[in-house]
Amino acid sequence: MIKLVRVDHRLLHGQVAFSWTNAVSADCILIASDSVVNDDMWKTTLKLGKPSGVKLVIKNMEDAISSINSGVTDKYKLLIVVQTIQDAWRLVEGCSSIESINLGGSKKQEGYRQISKAIYIGSEEEQCIKKMLDKKVEVEIRQLASEKKLQAQNVL
């Protein structure tokens, strides 16, 4: 069962590994990323950062979507983390079981605007958020589970 899908360009770090894992009682973290799956150094770093007693799986986007849709992940209380809003859209597009996206952190880039303390978007990210909202997927912004949800449609 999917407990949370989070966009965080840093992937697995203290906020995700401990705050969010505990808040949603996750027993498995799925990192869905086409770039990380082929980066041994990054994979090793992510493995070091995972909480003990929590399974860590790193898959490319296609395999992550396939695993979620096949039901093989249903036995876990799953926390899914992607790096970009575009990756979140790919998951939403490929997995009808995703009902909510948490925007936790995205990189500041040239030409991007800030819509919250840690979220920066360009036109492509904004279009992805709007497409998710059009599919009736909740898109909320929070860095920590203890913070109040900020609905993305209220800041676009």
**26 by DSSP, 3-state: which?**
coil
Residue-wise pLDDT for 5-55, tens only, equals: 999 999 998 878 889 999 999 999 999 999 999 999 999 999 998 999 999
Domains of the chain (ranges; CATH) run 2-154 (3.40.35.10)
Report the predicted TM-score, pTM, of the whole model to 2 decimal places.
0.96
Report which of 37, 153, 54 is spatially closest to residue 103, judged by C-alpha positions. 153
Tell me the C-alpha distance between 45 and 75, whole Å. 26
Residue-wise pLDDT for 101-155, tens only, equals: 999 999 999 999 999 999 999 999 999 999 999 999 999 999 999 999 999 999 9
